[in-house]
Amino acid sequence: MSNKPLRPASAIEAERLRLFVSSVTDYAIYTLSPEGIVTSWNAGAQRFKGYTEAEILGEHFSRFYSDDDRAAGRPAMALAVARDAGRFEDEGWRIRKDGTRFWASVVLDPIRDHSGELLGYAKITRDITARRKEQEALHASEERFRLLVQGVTDYAIYMLSPEGLVTNWNEGARRIKGYDSDEVTGTHFERFYTEPDRAAGLPRQALATARRDGRFEREGWRVRKDGSRFWAHVVIDPIIDSMGELIGYAKITRDVTERRTAEEELARAKEALFQSQKLESIGQLTGGIAHDFNNLLNVIINGLDILRNVSDRTQQTKAIDGMVRAAERGASLTQQLLTFARQQPFRAERVRINRIVDSFEAVLRRAVHSNVQLELKQAPGLPEILADVQQLESAILNLVVNARDAIGDGGERGDIVIETSVGMHEGGGALPPGAYVCLTVRDSGCGMEPEVARRAMEPFFTTKEVGKGTGLGLSQVYGMVQQAKGELRIESQPGKGTAISLLFPAHEHGIGPQESAHGSAAEKVLVVDDQNDVLDMAAQLFTSLGYEVLPANNGAEALEILGRHPDLRILFSDVVMPGMSGIELARAARQAQPGLKIILASGYLPSTLSAQHKDVDQFELIGKPYRLSDIIKKLQ
């Protein structure tokens, strides 16, 4: 048994603590007297500062500070703050034994006995020079980027908060929009939009689209500080932090007014060239026909002279044969001219006028100006009529274009109503008694004087400016309705608009209660494509399958048609369209009519669409180019 005296447990723990502190090398841990004299020194302190324990014990800790800090009294201030506040924490430059500097993180705590008497201080120092260099490098990079963004003048580059408030502003934004940074920072970016766009909620829709799709890109009118407008190309990207939280938006705006103006001028130049070429073509056509007819007339006139003056039977027969050939050639030329002028012979077939209007609706809407509201009022259960479909479509289009021109495009709002109805005629006038289907095109335009209304159906009579009309439109409509055994009626007053009605004899009493208000028992399909030739071909495919087709050129038009036809069963749409895409249209349509069957056509692979749009798999996809058999499979 050892005769060594046992040490108290507290002494053992104190020794363990001393050994632990002495062995730490990542931190300089040492103690100071109340006056700041170094009283202990660990391995970490020796590694950081270069002094051995023998060299530093008994020295004042101020020797670790720079001359400037000592002159400013920072060592004494550190002790005073630690003594009075119970803790002192700081970062700053410290000096090693060899004179080199390091950036130190310092914590200084007072040591007191049980009675509160100050015994000294415990000081922990850590070398964080590497971290400071990283921070300085990051700050320098951010400053270079800030200077770069600030120096850009061709683009307005600025940040928005998640709510849309402007948080910074570059020189390009000031130059393009006219606001200084202090004028616009903290305000909502909707101030740059026009009043109609703000009322329509476009600024908040832009942020929602950027957040949902990861990007928003659009062009439109924006407003400068002085109230002037410019045509802007806008890109908004959401900014997401490492936790996936939205912290704001990056917005880039470019003034592309000059480009848009140049495009419009180019379009006008092309239109002028087209009109010039068209007139030249017409001149060549009429000149050629006149030349050919002169030759034919010359053959006939000379042949008649031969018949009068020559008794030789052989010569008379040859003259007659030549005259017959000339007459047949003249008939062929006349047929070609009528075809060119869309005056083909009347090919009557039984049709439902509501179906004609519905299938032609997209063309009619494209024919009117943006300031004109086109409305359809179609009576249900209309009888069939006998009409040439092509000529009837041309007649309706002529009436709508005339109504549009009567309203004008000066910006004032106008209305055009296409109304269908059925009624009985008691006889009198040119029409025999009986049931008649009536199509009326009514406008809120300038109207006509009685004398003008009486002459309106005369060929080549027009009140339009030179180059704005041929004077043949209404006369062609009159000729078509006469061939259908019907009648054209005009009601008009100056300043109160015009109503032109086409009356067609009814060929049955009704369509039956099971049929729709638009004149067809067939299922309806809404076909959407921004390319007219593709739209027409798709419509023909569905028509060949027995469907009633309602065409639309864009998503907004399609939704408007969908709202008016709750009995629609199928939506067939292209995916890539300007404005609202086919997928966005499909989502809105599915929300409005959950039972609607939706088929989307795209040249992209289904896997590509699925990667871009997570919900696309809930719709039927058909690849381009598609055939009739492909559509049949999707419908089944």
- Tokens standing for 76? 């004494």
Same domain, 503 and 582: no
At 473, is the pLDDT very low, low, confident or very high (cuts 50, 70, 90)?
A: low
Same domain, 478 and 417: yes
CA torsion angle 143 144 149 152 (round to 10): 140
Write down the pLDDT at residue 512: 33
> Which of 599, 529, 536 minimizes the C-alpha distance to 568?
599
Residue where one domain finishes, among candidates 299, 320, 340: 340
Same domain, 207 and 336: no
* Overall average pLDDT of the 4-33 stretch: 63
Write down the pLDDT at residue 612: 65
31: region left, alpha or beta (phi > 0 left; psi from -120 to 50 alpha): beta
Residue 605 inside a domain? The answer is: yes
Residue 308 inside a domain? The answer is: yes
Residue 244 inside a domain? The answer is: yes
Residue 200 inside a domain? The answer is: yes
Q: What's the domain range around 589?
A: 522-636
Residue with tokens 């995916």, as numbered in its chain: 575
Write down the pLDDT at residue 606: 58
In sequence order, the 6+-apart residues with CB closer than 8 A to the CB of 149 are 157, 170
**How much is the mean pLDDT over the chain?**
80
Residue 2 inside a domain? The answer is: no
At 275, is the pLDDT very low, low, confident or very high (cuts 50, 70, 90)?
A: low
Same domain, 383 and 511: yes
Same domain, 374 and 477: yes
Same domain, 118 and 177: no
- Taking the C-alpha atoms of residue 286 and residue 275, their distance in angstroms, rounded to an integer, is 16
Write down the pLDDT at residue 576: 83
Residue where one domain finishes, among candidates 517, 549, 584: 517
Write down the pLDDT at residue 95: 92
Same domain, 473 and 546: no
Range from 379-393, 432-446, 622-636 carrying the lowest mean pLDDT: 622-636
Same domain, 456 and 582: no
pLDDT digits (tens, 9 = 90+) for 312-367: 888 788 878 778 777 766 765 564 455 344 444 556 788 889 988 887 787 788 77
If one counts the domains in the chain, the total is 5
Range from 563-567, 586-590, 624-628 carrying the lowest mean pLDDT: 624-628
> Which of 593, 613, 596, 595 minimizes the C-alpha distance to 604?
613
pLDDT digits (tens, 9 = 90+) for 406-422: 887 766 788 999 999 98
Same domain, 362 and 289: no
Q: Are 357 and 376 in contact (CB under 8 A)?
A: yes
Write down the pLDDT at residue 194: 93
> Which of 370, 341, 375 minimizes the C-alpha distance to 357?
375
In sequence order, the β-bridge partners of residue 137 are: none
| 3 state DSSP class of 31 | strand
Range from 413-422, 479-488, 560-569 carrying the lowest mean pLDDT: 479-488
Residue 164 inside a domain? The answer is: yes
Pairwise pLDDT comparison (531 vs 272), residue with the higher score: 531
Angle made by CA atoms 542, 548, 552, in degrees to the nearest 5: 80
- Tokens standing for 63? 């020797």
Same domain, 170 and 312: no
Q: Say yes or no to pLDDT of 427 above 90.
A: no
- Quote the percentage of the chain above a pLDDT of 90: 25
Same domain, 285 and 320: yes
Residue 143 inside a domain? The answer is: no
Residue 354 inside a domain? The answer is: yes
Q: Say yes or no to pLDDT of 382 above 80.
A: yes
pLDDT digits (tens, 9 = 90+) for 103-144: 988 999 999 988 889 999 989 988 888 888 777 666 666 556
pLDDT digits (tens, 9 = 90+) for 82-103: 999 989 999 889 999 999 998 9
Residue type, 491: E
Residue where one domain finishes, among candidates 306, 340, 374: 340
- The DSSP annotation for 476-519 comes to HHHHHHHHTT-EEEEEE-TTS-EEEEEEEE-SSS---TTS-TTS
- Tell the burial category of 451 from Cβ atoms under 10 Å away from its Cβ (0-12, 13-18, 19+): exposed
Same domain, 448 and 509: yes
Residue 513 CB: number of other CB atoms within 10 A?
7
Range from 20-24, 175-179, 291-295, 510-514 carrying the lowest mean pLDDT: 510-514
CATH number at 171 reads 3.30.450.20
Q: At what angle do helices 313-340 and 257-309 cross, to 10 degrees?
A: 160
